[in-house]
Structure 1
């Protein structure tokens, strides 16, 4: 019994609040977006139920747009939300199609002379919005400016009332189903005349369903209403039109219009933007190499290089017997075409070499160049060592490898006569000499030099 008494008391309090409610006729007809925390501050000293629900409101809704409570706020909020959803789509052709649809809808029970000016305002508004796209900010400026022009706004809203009334009279099966909810004794025409078409009469739940069927349903817009009342719960209760949209994921549905209902008043409210979808998993593919195969031929750096100048260095002659460089076992995938290189500069000391060595170079260099012109790589395991192409010989100093020294050298170093000559750069054993060649230590010469000294010492002892 106590619960029934409390419910009756709450219902009476709501009815009293509705009767005592004074519409806010100040400010714009449709205001700018305001953070939803402003609603929490406005209800800070109200009933604890409202305080709790308004404190939870910013967790779901980020902003709201105040609408003047002059008895047409529900119609104005729904029609404004309809245009706003069309602008968010960014599709000018959709707006043009909707303009033709709602302005060509037959108005039942009224002469065209009564509503043609109102219809023209709708045509002009929707045409201007379509022309402003794809700039959505400019289109929103047009919408807000027209809805805050009192004469234009009243014409647009009254045409919307006639549109809802005509749909209910049209005999549509859905309209016939709604006719069963009309209060007894009012009748279909009475409800249209006294509830839908009457100026400054706030919209009811049946009117919202009618408005959804004639205005929102053809373009797939869902209407969601958040009720801020004294019903149990710590958050506002929501209801969607159509009813089969309840419990469905908004991301799988069409655009939404969100209204906030307070006793006998409607505002537009905006939920937080949905979080971005998680990034798709990256499909990383790794190409692993089974073997490292060189794509360039062996000795490619020296294949077309003129090595003639190297033969002019003492001990670097072509007739030496260095073994050939090893040929890599892996064959080349593609032929190598090196860029042409200029021959090396001839040594300025080439004139001091013997004539026999120059003739030997002239006989061997053409054969060496012919071998370089067609380099062929073969696997070392597939061909015998004797079949492998002879590569360029690398010569070292004769003092590092005496066995490779030139045996029949005709030009000899003149004997050193003075200490001045030995310490000058003219001495070939001096490090500043361009043809620097260190002296070779020969023990047999030391034996020959010390033999006369030993004879003299023995002669002195005998005397």
Structure 2
């Protein structure tokens, strides 16, 4: 390129070259983890538009969601409608398993007014508190979470000034200051159970993360927003003595192409050992029913 005097001008080319090099360098520095962080931020923003716990919906709403999607999923939802009547969605923020369990359990107590169950789980919670102390946790790190859960548990029993209605339970479950505290209560319970029985859980933990049990609890159980797997569910079910049914909605089918909906019942270890009548009855029919879609849990309501 020449100027009006006919002299060659190279600065513009240098500027362009320099700009392109800078852009390439910037792009090279934009690594995979940066992209993942950006995706996570977008997902978190979208998740924030959904309540922690949604309204109860007919299962047909789930069918409508997949109407133009994978035909196997549509067929499986049709199979689900034979046993289940409704779904209650929870926010997909990594806490959906604990949040779903929290609401389903408290709702069960509210509806059944099962005071014997409240006494039983209160005793289990006390044992969990002692477990955490024996493992070296300072009580101040978890006592507020425990106190709030027990407060919510008492509130769903009628006959006191603190008793709440079903609508109030829904609103409390959507209150972050309450909901997150109860989620943290369950995370501490789960972590304590895994650490207490580290030899039992170690093979499963290493199969998932190839880390130690202690590191797994620190990085994948106790922090808010960390997703739950079968290890978390087993530990929580065992610690509290509550059987949980997980119904799986995925694209799997058998060798012949037949479609069925699989589920797994997490039976508390104490029930397996004692085979007590009450445990056997509960294990045969868990009152906590959750729907699992890859990476997410919602609450299911049997017919």
Same topology, TM > 0.5: yes
User: Paired residue for 1:277?
Assistant: none
Preserved CA contact (<8 Å) 1:56 1:235? yes
User: Paired residue for 1:63?
Assistant: 86
- What does residue range 193-232 of structure 1 map to in structure 2 within 5 Å? 193-215=218-240, 217=241, 221-232=242-253
Q: Residue 156 in 1 paired to residue 156 in 2? A: no
User: Paired residue for 1:181?
Assistant: 204
Preserved CA contact (<8 Å) 1:128 1:142? no
1:176 offset after TM fit, Å?
Answer: 2.9
CA RMSD of superposed structures (Å): 2.9
Q: Tell me the secondary structure at the aligned position of residue 92 of structure 2.
A: coil
Distance 1:205 1:186 in 2: 16
User: Paired residue for 1:285?
Assistant: none
Q: Is the radius of gyration larger for structure 1 or structure 2? A: 1
Distance 1:65 1:214 in 2: 25
Q: Residue 110 in 1 paired to residue 137 in 2? A: yes
Cα distance, 1:252–1:205 mapped onto 2, change above 3 Å: closer
User: Paired residue for 1:125?
Assistant: 152
1:103 offset after TM fit, Å?
Answer: 4.6
CA offsets 1:300-336 (integer angstroms, 9 cap, x no match): xxxxxxxxxxxxxxxxxxxxxxxxxxxxxxxxxxxxx
**Structure having the larger proportion of residues in strand:** 2
Q: Tell me the secondary structure at the aligned position of residue 55 of structure 2.
A: coil
1:127 offset after TM fit, Å?
Answer: 1.9
- What does residue range 83-98 of structure 1 map to in structure 2 within 5 Å? 83-98=106-121
Preserved CA contact (<8 Å) 1:118 1:158? yes
Preserved CA contact (<8 Å) 2:247 2:292? yes
1:150 offset after TM fit, Å?
Answer: 0.4
Cα distance, 1:50–1:255 mapped onto 2, change above 3 Å: closer
Unaligned runs of 5+ in 1: 1-18, 273-463
Q: Residue 54 in 1 paired to residue 77 in 2? A: yes
Preserved CA contact (<8 Å) 1:72 1:199? yes
User: Paired residue for 1:397?
Assistant: none
Q: Tell me the secondary structure at the aligned position of residue 292 of structure 2.
A: strand
Cα distance, 1:109–1:76 mapped onto 2, change above 3 Å: farther
Unaligned runs of 5+ in 2: 1-38, 272-279
Distance 1:42 1:139 in 2: 31
Q: Tell me the secondary structure at the aligned position of residue 180 of structure 1.
A: helix
Distance 1:95 1:29 in 2: 24
User: Paired residue for 1:143?
Assistant: 169
Cα distance, 1:129–1:110 mapped onto 2, change above 3 Å: same
Q: Tell me the secondary structure at the aligned position of residue 97 of structure 2.
A: helix
Distance 2:148 2:116 in 1: 19
CA offsets 1:10-68 (integer angstroms, 9 cap, x no match): xxxxxxxxx99946332321122110000000000111211222233222211011111
1:165 offset after TM fit, Å?
Answer: 0.8
Moved more, 52-61 or 20-29: 20-29
Preserved CA contact (<8 Å) 1:132 1:139? no
Count of matched residue positions in the alignment of Structure 1 and Structure 2 = 241
RCO comparison, higher one (Cα < 8 Å, 6+) = 2
Distance 1:146 1:178 in 2: 33
User: Paired residue for 1:234?
Assistant: 259
Moved more, 26-35 or 176-185: 176-185
Distance 1:230 1:141 in 2: 35
Q: Following superposition, which runs of at least 4 residues in structure 1 exceed 6 angstroms of deviation?
A: 249-252
User: Paired residue for 1:24?
Assistant: 47
**TM-score scaled by length of structure 1:** 0.47
Distance 2:165 2:159 in 1: 5
Q: Residue 190 in 1 paired to residue 221 in 2? A: no
Q: Residue 271 in 1 paired to residue 281 in 2? A: no
1:118 offset after TM fit, Å?
Answer: 1.7
Distance 2:67 2:290 in 1: 21
Q: Tell me the secondary structure at the aligned position of residue 220 of structure 2.
A: helix
Preserved CA contact (<8 Å) 1:75 1:202? no
1:163 offset after TM fit, Å?
Answer: 1.1
